[in-house]
Amino acid sequence: MTTTQATVTIDKAQTPWRRGMRRFVRNKLAMIGVAIIVFFLLFCFVGPLFWQTDQVHTDLKSAMLPPGSPGHPLGTNDLGYDVLGRLMQGGQISILIGLAAGVLATGIGTLWGAIAGYVGGGVDAVMMRVVDAGIAIPATFLLLILSTILQPSVGLMILVIGLVSWLVPARLVRAESISLKSREYVMAIRAMGGTHARAVIKHIVPNTVGTIVVNATFQVADAILLVAYVSFLGMGLQAPATDWGAMLTGGMTYTYSGAWWLIFPAGICIVLTVVAFNAIGDGLRDFFDVKGH
């Protein structure tokens, strides 16, 4: 047996999950993305246990200290808050909102798209016109309007971002559902008297899990960016709560004063986190690629 034949035989003997993991691990950018996300999760949620700072009470005597000052490795802002501790607190809120809103948007979009694609006909036409109308309205515009009407909070931002971000996954899942509803196992369950709900939940949705999981990572990245956009425009959470976007807003005031430490750390965190989630999404696409080798 040649080396090539042996490799093919071993590959066929492996489970789809193992083959997918092998493709995922081979994706260097995806592995770097995983490492970055793990780092930020530890930095934001475990870091405060070791680096405890007061992010509630202002200390004007310690305001605008440069990086490297005693007790403040990354300096302080205009209110005397430690920037390193601020990054941890802001990261908690940014990542929490991003993950929760991404999961909410993916869940709503999955059910909407699965039902529209499976039922078809007039129901599909009406449901997808709703999606088209929603996509035509910029999500940032809706967030800014709601932020002026309602008092921003973590729960509200999760809800609002989730409700404006489900449109893209809905279209993706609908396309999958249209092709899946004609499969033998779906037609068999209907022939045996199974309900439409059972067909959607037991067969349509599970068979679109690849599309759902990959899109979920992109939804999380988009949600983190939306939080940063709204906060950067001054419509985010109210002080003393903060996120990375709000830190950018506060730092912009002192741009010409040379206080770079108020801008670059938060900006770098946003860029790295969003790029990492996108890289993981690309890796998951390889993981679920049944045609991959």
Q: How far is 140 from 167, CA to CA, in rounded Å?
A: 14
| pLDDT bucket at 8, cuts 50 / 70 / 90 | very low
Please give the residue range of the domain that contains residue 200: 21-47+72-290
**For residue 76, what are the β-bridge partners?**
82
In a domain, 186, yes or no: yes
pTM: 0.83
In a domain, 128, yes or no: yes
- How much is the pLDDT for 5? 52
Instruction: Please report whether residue 148 resides in a domain.
Output: yes
Distances (CA, A) of 271 to 6, 21, 157, 164, 201: 43, 26, 20, 22, 36
Mean pLDDT of 199-226: 81
What CATH number is attached to the domain comprising 214? 1.10.3720.10
Backbone angles phi, psi at 69, to 5 degrees: -65, 150
Q: Which residue has the higher pLDDT, 224 or 200?
A: 224
What digits encode the pLDDT tens for the residues 19-30? 878 888 888 999
At residue 218, the pLDDT reads 87
